Amino acid sequence: MARRLFALDQNFPQPIVEVLAEFQEEAELVPVGDIDTGMQTLDDWEVLLALHHHEREWDGLITTDSSMLSLPKELSVLMQTRLTLVVAKESGHDPLRATGLLFAYLPGICARTHPGESQPWTLRAAQPPELDPWEHVDRLAKRRGHSAKALYESSKLSRTELKRDPLD
């Protein structure tokens, strides 16, 4: 698989991206300001168009701006330029969360994108509800054919074991 080339909007913290980029080989991520400082002031559709006309062959744009997915001009230009758009949608305004989402999904995106084919990707991270530890024990016990209480009783430490510091 050829290494993909993506422009990265300014909402991703560069020091963190640079460190994490060392551990992935699927894509080269280039901040839009490093491509051309003028790109930072362009409308989103203009960024796509600028990437399309750039001397390097860009695979697409990575952003946290989910509004691009609901704007007709942006979507039309995305399809015309045949670029890939990756949106870290469920990150809110948290750049760390957006960066984590990006690096969690990036290998799969790179493996499934096709150069010259417009593809929008929406990255989401579900926040599961907090569970009581007993719910976990109950699920585990059911899989093993036991009651939660029986599993707990057979696995818990004795008072003596609980008092002993394993580092002493």
Distance CA(20)–CA(13), nearest Å, equals 11
> Which of 108, 94, 126 lies closest to 84 in space, CA to CA?
108
**pLDDT confidence of residue 125:** 78
**pLDDT confidence of residue 131:** 76
Locus of tokens 């168009």: 49
CATH dotted code for 4-123: 3.40.50
For the chain, 168 residues long, give each residue's pLDDT as a single digit of tens.
Answer: 689 999 999 888 888 988 988 888 999 999 999 999 999 999 999 999 999 999 999 999 999 988 999 999 999 999 999 999 999 886 556 788 889 999 999 999 999 988 889 999 999 877 777 878 888 899 999 999 999 999 999 999 999 999 999 998
Burial status of residue 165 (CB atoms within 10 A of its CB: 0-12, 13-18, 19 or more) = exposed
Locus of tokens 């991703």: 12
The DSSP secondary structure of 103-167, one letter per residue, reads HHHHHHHHHH--TTS-EEEEE----PPP--HHHHHHHHHHHHTS-HHHHHHHHSPPHHHHHS-TT
**pLDDT confidence of residue 34:** 95
**pLDDT confidence of residue 37:** 94
- pTM for this one? 0.79
**pLDDT confidence of residue 163:** 92
Spans of all domains in the chain: 4-123, 133-163
